[in-house]
Amino acid sequence: MKRLFLIHGPNEVLRRQYEKEYVEKYASLEKTIVYTSEKEPSDFVSNASSDFIFGGGEFFVLKNWDELKEHALHEWEKALLSILSMESPHLFLLSAEKVSKKFLSMVDPYAEIRECKPLYGRDIIAFIRQQFQNHQIKAEEEVYEFLLDLSNQSLEEIDRMLHILIPAVDKKSSLTLRFCEELLAPSTNYSIFDLIFFTHTCLARFGVVRSHDLSHLPSPLELQNKREHTP
C-alpha cells in the first residue's frame, strides 16, 4: 500500500484540491498537522515511531515544506524516508510546489505521486466542467469560453469565480451565459447600496470584486434622478 501521498508542482489550485480529496478520503483516521519549518525531523521520527507501536494509524499532513532551507530540507527528506521504510499503519500527505527529482525517485516505491502542472485553454475548461459536475451543475456551452476569457486563462481567477458562481446557481436550471455576465463581468451599473447587499449575502466575494468600480459609480443625486425618471 502506498503510504505517502505526494502532491507537487506550481499549480496551487490543483494541489489544494487534491489535498482536500485525500483529507476527506481518510477522515476516519486521526489527523495530525506537522509544520516542518517548526519541528525537528528527528523528533518527528521518534514520535511517529512510538505512535504506531502503541496506537493505531494516524494521518500526518506535512506543511511548510517549501519554506525549508537546504540543510533542513535534506534532513526532513531523510526523516520521511526513514519512516516510510518502517512497517507502520501511518499515512502521510505532503503538498509542495518544489520537490527534487532525487527525492521523488527515492520515495516512489512508497508514494502515490501527483504532479500539478499549469493548465491552459482546453485543460482549464475541462477543470471547470469537472467542478460543475461535482456540484451537479449544468451549464450552457458559452459559459466555459466566457469564464476562460474573463479569467485571462488564470486558474487562480477561475477558482475565485467558481467560489462566487457555485453557491449562487439554481441547480434546478442550467447555468446561463447571461447569469454569468450579470454576476461576474465588470460593470458600472451597481450602486453602493447594491455592493452593501452583496457583501452581506452569499455573494460577499462579488461585493468585494465590484468595489473596485466605486470611483465610477454615479453620485447619489444622479441615482435619485435616474429612479425618478425610470418608468
pLDDT in tens, 21-62: 999 999 999 899 999 999 999 988 887 776 554 456 789 999
Given this model, what pLDDT does residue 2 score?
82
141-150 helix and 177-184 helix, angle to the nearest 10 degrees: 20
Given this model, what pLDDT does residue 182 score?
84
Query: Residue 177 in contact with residue 140, Cβ under 8 Å?
Result: yes
- The span from the CA of 93 to the CA of 23, in Å, is 9
Mean pLDDT over 185-214 rounds to 48
Domain boundaries, the chain: 4-115, 119-185, 188-231
Candidate from 28-42, 109-123, 141-155, 213-227 with smallest mean pLDDT = 213-227
Question: Is the model's pLDDT at 214 over the cut of 50?
Answer: no
Given this model, what pLDDT does residue 171 score?
74
Question: Is the model's pLDDT at 190 over the cut of 70?
Answer: no
Given this model, what pLDDT does residue 55 score?
53
- The span from the CA of 169 to the CA of 226, in Å, is 30
The amino acid sitting at 167 is P
Answer with the residue of higher pLDDT: 198 or 163.
163
Mean pLDDT over 2-12 rounds to 94
Architecture in CATH of 4-115: 3-Layer(aba) Sandwich (3.40)
Looking at beta carbons, which pairs linking 83-86 to residues 24 or more positions away fall under 8 Å? Answer: 83/44, 83/45, 83/48, 83/49, 84/3, 84/4, 84/110, 84/111, 85/110, 86/49, 86/52
What dotted CATH number matches 119-185?
1.10.8
Mean pLDDT for the chain overall: 81
Counting residues of the chain whose pLDDT is more than 90, the rounded percentage is 51
Phi (first) and psi of residue 42, to 5 degrees:
-65, -40
Nearest one of 195, 201, 140, 131 to 166, comparing CA atoms:
131
User: Running DSSP on this structure, what letter comes out for residue 211?
Assistant: G
Given this model, what pLDDT does residue 36 score?
94
Given this model, what pLDDT does residue 203 score?
44
Q: How many CB atoms lie within 10 A of CB 114?
A: 17
- pTM of whole model > 0.85? no
